[in-house]
Amino acid sequence: MTEQDESKRHEILAPVWTEEQLKRRRQRNLAIAWTLGALMVLFFVVTIVKLGGNVANRTF
């Protein structure tokens, strides 16, 4: 494959996102990030609630 062919192949495969698509992708990524952050907090809080006062009563 010549160098010219290679560059043409990239021209076909490279994603050409429109401004609108980029904006929406950013929005979706932010929504996913906030959701994951909220889940992290939820799992942490529920763990503390379930452990309750027993958190310090571990046997070593």
Partner 1 sequence: MSNRAISKEEFDARAMSDGGMGSARDFFELLKPRVMSLVIFTALVGLAVAPGGIHPVIAFTALLCIAVGAGASGALNMWYDADIDAKMARTADRPIPRGRVTPGEAAAFGSILSVFSVMTMGVLVNWVAASLLAFTIFFYLVVYTMWLKRRTPQNIVIGGAAGAFPPMIGWAAVTGSVSIEPIVLFLIIFMWTPPHFWALALYRRGDYEKVGVPMLPVVAGEAETRRQILIYSLLLVPLTLLPAALGFAGWLYAVATAVLGAGFLWFAIGVWRSRAGAAQDMAAKRLFAYSILYLFLVFSLLLAEKMLGVAPMGPLSLS
CB proximity list for 15: less than 8 A, separation 6 or greater: none
**Whether 55 contacts 48, CB under 8 Å:** yes
Site for partner 1 in 1-40 (CB under 8 A): 5, 8-9, 11-12, 16-18, 20-21, 24-25, 27-28, 30-31
| Under rule CB under 8 A, residue 41 binds partner 1 | no
Can you say whether residue 52 is alpha, beta or left, with left for phi > 0 and alpha for psi between -120 and 50 degrees?
Answer: left
User: Among 36, 37, 40, 45, which residue sits at the site for partner 1 (rule: CB under 8 A)?
Assistant: 45
**Whether 58 contacts 51, CB under 8 Å:** no
| Under rule CB under 8 A, residue 57 binds partner 1 | no
Summarize as ranges the residues that interact with partner 1 (CB under 8 A). 5, 8-9, 11-12, 16-18, 20-21, 24-25, 27-28, 30-31, 42-43, 45-46, 49
